[in-house]
A and B are shown apart, each in its own frame.
Chain A
Amino acid sequence: MAVASINMPRAKRSALELRRVAFSAAGWVACGIALFMVIGPLLDVVWVVASRGISAFSIGLFTTVTNGTGGGLANAISGTLILSAGALLIAVPIGVGAGIYLSEYGNNKIGNTIRFLSDVLTGTPSIVLGYFSYIVFVTGLGWQFSALAGSITLAILIVPYLARISELALRQVPISMREAAFALGANDPVVVFKVVLPGALSGVITGVLLALAISVGETAPLIYTAGWSNYMWNGQLTHSPIGYLTYVIWSFINQPSDESHALAFAAAFIVMLVVLCINIGVRLVVKRTRFV
């Protein structure tokens, strides 16, 4: 092979080289364009939603409730906060508890099974979870569209993420710290709550924030469980539908008036701001760790 290439006429070799160099250059250009086509739409989404969303901002947006075609977002903003807070209230103890089990005692068959089924739950489309909650809580238990049904659905959605991220965070605490605590005579709960959990607190908080971002941006399962309400939440856990921001985006963009569209963009801007801020903040603080 080497001999052949040495004996090759000069002009022919340079043509081959030229072709290879040209092909490589074209490849790099194509790759660069591909990267631009992945990032470009994101920048356009942010730009379009931000510019049209901010222009719809006013004081009234945060103080008045929505009506059929427009109004403010007070009910939707408070509803999103209530639903997300409720979901975290249910999911954090379960998710962190599961993370503790999986990291501290879960190197066995039970742990592997739980991890596998938790991954399956992560991969389940959110609308399937929403439909489950609809037939069980909304119609089966007769709660109707309600804050509790919505919160439980969101909790089922985020709990596998919480478990996974908590487990990863707890595992980063060195074994020697556990051994030191055990040597001092500490029992299981003391080791976990006084040594391991404080050491992994930033990781666990990261998980909670990412879970919050997921629940703020979720729509499909809430349509089936939380319903929608033009009024502020009346404090009832069941039998009373509740509004949320993502519903405004979905339903108001399909209405004819400009006022409705402006409201949809304002809601989208708030949702996007929360989700992007949480995700950028988390990635800046926790460098080089990809959880999900």
Chain B
Amino acid sequence: MKLKPFRLSVLGLSLLIPAALCAVVLFLAIYSAPAVSFNGFGFVSRITWDLGNLYGDPVTVRGVQVPPGASYGILVFVVGTLLSSFIAILIAVPLSVGAAIFLAESVPAKIRPILSLLVELVAVVPSVVFGLWGIAVLIPLMAGYIGPGLSHILGFIPFFSGGNTGSGYGLLTTSIVLALMITPIIATTLLDALLQVPKENRESAFALGATHFEVVSKAMMPMVRTTLIGGIVLALGRALGETMAVLMVSGGAINIMPQNIYSPVSTIASFIVSQLDSAEQDPTNMAVQSLAEIALVLFIITLAVNAAAKLLSSGVLNGRSKH
């Protein structure tokens, strides 16, 4: 076979992308190896994150040097991540389904591009700007009205009751901001799918005497269900890894599990950012290595979620392929 230098050189360039990904995984894994062996499996089930006495003489535990009293557990952050993303999905799904249906069926074709452009633009606003808006607008609103109001009306549900609904920084605020950031992902996915539903299906439903809304909800929505689920899982992947907006409005809890939806929380991603300064003070480097292990855990979670989204949207699971 003739050697083709041009093809080989662009192949070399494109191989740099998988190489970067492998380097990320590999270096994180190698670097966090001492932390993995020190923390063991309890890493994800322990609540206490304590850097130990950074000025004391390091002690040797299980073959690695750590500051005395150090304990690294990330259950609080795993719970915070999963809980905030889950509530965000609960808020975002009805909103984005409603928005997509309205855009696909009820808006004149002339205005649709403008409105769908606006929905898409929600996705490109930088995370940190959402965080700023959260602090300036949403948090006073939460602390003054929404929090106390919810506690008053829905207080009979355990997770909603709280004598003190807090400062506004907390789980519910985080979830609302996350929900805003992921609605366009679900809405645009669903809008595309709805616009692709064959005319015949709509017209048959109309011919049977269904109202317009019944056509959408009973004839069209079942056809795009798999795509919708794929979009939701994709949005979940984005919400799990979201950092800055969460860091700014979550309140940053350490060593305490969320008691109700007003409690401060930390997510894995926001915790990594907030801990850099303290972790650097550790002379044994174990804190920095444990943070690398957290980053690895976050990577694995998002990888699993994104893989699930890809499987769902590729149509492998439902037999009839959509795209």
* A and B interact: yes
A42 within 8 A of B: yes
Proximity bits, B117-138, A CB within 8 Å = 1, else 0: 1111110111111111101110
In the complex formed, the residue of B with least CB distance to A221 is B243
In the complex formed, the residue of B with least CB distance to A41 is B180
Give bound CA distance, A281 to B212, whole Å.
Answer: 35
Partner of A275, one of B17, B119, B126: B126
Give bound CA distance, A98 to B10, whole Å.
Answer: 6
* A-B pairs with beta carbons under 8 A, tally: 264
Q: Does the CB pair A125–B299 fall under 8 Å?
A: yes
Within 8 A of B (CB), among A144-200: 156, 159-160, 163, 187-189, 192
Give bound CA distance, A216 to B302, whole Å.
Answer: 24
Question: Interface size (B, Cβ < 8 Å)?
Answer: 83
Q: Does the CB pair B14–A280 fall under 8 Å?
A: no
Q: Does the CB pair A101–B13 fall under 8 Å?
A: yes
Q: Contacts A119-B310, A121-B17, A188-B4; is A45 near B130 (CB within 8 Å)?
A: yes
Q: Does the CB pair A32–B106 fall under 8 Å?
A: yes
- Size class of A's contact patch? 35 or more
Interface SS majority for chain B: helix
Q: Does the CB pair A126–B99 fall under 8 Å?
A: no
Q: Does the CB pair B14–A279 fall under 8 Å?
A: no
Residues of A within 8 Å of B106, CB to CB, are: 28, 31-32
Proximity bits, B151-169, A CB within 8 Å = 1, else 0: 0000000000000000000
Chain B min CB distance to A152 (Å): 9
Q: Does the CB pair B295–A128 fall under 8 Å?
A: yes
A77 within 8 A of B: no
A260 within 8 A of B: no
Q: Does the CB pair A101–B16 fall under 8 Å?
A: no
Chain A min CB distance to B314 (Å): 11
Q: Does the CB pair A283–B117 fall under 8 Å?
A: yes
Proximity bits, B183-214, A CB within 8 Å = 1, else 0: 11001100010000000000000000001111
A253 within 8 A of B: yes
Q: Does the CB pair B118–A120 fall under 8 Å?
A: no
Residues of A within 8 Å of B247, CB to CB, are: 220, 250
B250 within 8 A of A: no
Q: Does the CB pair B126–A101 fall under 8 Å?
A: no
Q: Contacts A21-B211, A120-B306, A218-B126; is A250 near B248 (CB within 8 Å)?
A: yes
Partner of B213, one of A27, A125, A265: A27
Q: Which 10 A-B pairs have the closest CB atoms?
A: A34-B98, A125-B241, A217-B126, A97-B13, A98-B14, A24-B213, A123-B306, A31-B102, A220-B243, A117-B18
